[in-house]
Amino acid sequence: MAKVSINVDSQCREIIRDVRAGVFKPVYLLMGEEAFYPDMVCQEIIDNCLDESERDFNQTICYGSDVDADTVISAARRYPMMAERQLVVVKEAQLMKDIEQFSLYCANPLDSTVFVVLMHGASADKRKAFYKSVQKVGVVVDSPLVRDYEIANWIISYYHGRGLEIDPSAAQLLGEYAGVNLGTIAVETDKLLKALPEGTVSIKVEDIEKNVGISRQYSIFELTKELSYRNGPKAVKIAAHIGESSKFAMPMAVSALFTHFYRILKYEALLSRDRNPAPDAKARVLGVNPFFFREYDMAVRNYPPQKSTAVISLLNEYDFKGKGGDVSSDTEPGTLLVELVTKILNM
């Protein structure tokens, strides 16, 4: 998992611990392409900043499409009524044309106001005054997208943060089902824990298969594994089954295969410099849990650099075909996947 994603997760858990303990910063700027962490922190602040009885007079929640900076700043400069603090939240703040004016408030924020600016799927300009002023007096949460090749490690880290352990194969399977939507993963995790016996802390593949509704036997994750070992009959069978799914999309399958073979190529480059690299060096290059090292050790033997490069070239060709290029209109996407897998195996 990318180090920046780990840092954001750790930062947000620390912020949440503070707000639940009644410790608040004067200003929060919650932003980034991935909305999961900014939304989570914003809701925790709303839930913990004021008692229910204090909210009528001391809580202002508005939306960037409906307000201007002057109105929001005026609200933030008010003093709380019969309460220790007041809360002012601007959601969808990326829609404001004058958001930079918030730097004027941040130059001298009130200790009795908790001011939250939530940008959904967007970020403030880091070169300008507003972002820099929040850094000085408050907290910035900048949440980047988690890439598809990072998602399994993100899931493992997320579960660890919740006091749970998840088998790496189970994390891969859940990631394949949910994609890179962190909110979906959180929802599925909550549903999973409700379905499992109370007190369960270790999640296995079987738990994901039974309660989330995805089979490891016929997954892209299992397909890449069989390709690594050049198990032709099983790989083709899995490809055919995947292609029959109503949710199947050729571009997504090609993307997963590209990530896999690009890892193989990078691993080969590492081995060309060091035939016996340390586990941490392998982890940095492959971006996978050590649980999967054995598979990649086999894959580099089955797909030496020339073959890996040829496979990647083939994937580019089938990415084009999967998006409607150079194929007849009646060609089924599932047929393309079987054709692609067969060509890979025959290289």
All domains in the chain, ordered by first residue? 3-142 (3.40.50.300), 148-214 (1.10.8.60), 218-345 (1.20.272.10)
> ∠ CA(95), CA(99), CA(103), 5° rounding?
160
Q: Which of 257, 175, 251 is nearest to 214 (CA)?
A: 175
Give dist(CA 232, CA 250) in Å, integer.
20
Reported as a single tens digit per residue, the pLDDT across 263-289 is 999 999 999 999 899 988 888 888 888
Q: Which residues lie closer than 8 Å to 277 by C-beta, 6 or more apart?
A: 270, 271, 285
Length of the chain: 347
DSSP letters for 193-217: HHHSPTT--EE-HHHHHHHH---GG
Neighbours of 24 (CB within 10 A): 23
Per DSSP, the three-state class of 22 is: coil
* Model pLDDT for residues 23-49, shown as the tens digit of each residue: 999 999 999 999 999 999 999 999 999
Coil, helix or strand at residue 118 = strand
Cα 283-308-154 angle, rounded to 5 deg = 30
Q: Answer for the pair 209, 202: CB distance below 8 angstroms, yes or no.
A: no
- Is the CB of residue 86 less than 8 Å from the CB of residue 116? no
pLDDT of residue 6: 54
Tell me the C-alpha distance between 220 and 252, whole Å. Answer: 10
pLDDT tens per residue, the chain (347 residues)?
444 555 888 899 999 999 999 999 999 999 999 999 999 999 999 999 999 999 999 999 999 999 999 999 999 999 999 999 999 999 999 999 999 999 999 999 999 999 999 999 999 999 999 999 999 999 999 999 888 778 888 999 889 888 999 999 899 888 888 878 898 899 989 989 999 998 899 999 899 988 887 777 788 889 999 999 999 999 999 999 888 887 788 988 898 899 999 999 999 999 999 989 998 888 888 888 888 899 999 999 999 999 999 999 999 999 998 888 777 766 777 889 999 999 999 98
